Amino acid sequence: MQILGKIHTIRNTGQGSDYLGPCEVCKKHADTIHKLQNNFVVRKNDSINFLIANGEGLYGHENCVRKYGDKIFNLEDFNRRNNLRIVSKTQTEQIFGE
């Protein structure tokens, strides 16, 4: 496997502060909590690129957690194959300019 680089993904958890606690950034209540996740983009031997989560992530208001990442993409933009999030060739080119 080869690590191509690092990106952040963001997703709506579908839960709010009542379930997940306050925003980890501003410490205030949030009706909807988003998760910002550090990910490595990895290429397998068969040329399939996919995401591997790196660390626990950051939970909070979308605008709060977006302050802590660059190259932020919506997790739902990456197709799922079994338990992997696939990074297509087009997405890889857009992200890394390959």
Written as one string, the DSSP assignment of 29-78 is --SS-EEEEEEEEEE-TTS-EEEEE-S--EEE-HHHHGGG-SSEEEGGGS
Please state the pTM of the whole predicted model: 0.88
Is the pLDDT at 78 greater than 90? The verdict is yes
Average pLDDT over residues 63-85: 93
Please list, in sequence order, all residues whose beta carbon lies within 8 angstroms of the beta carbon of residue 2, skipping any fewer than 6 positions away.
42, 43
**First vs last C-alpha separation in the chain:** 17
Q: Give pLDDT tens digits for 30-54.
A: 999 999 999 999 998 777 899 999 9
pLDDT the model gives residue 44:
85
pLDDT the model gives residue 98:
61
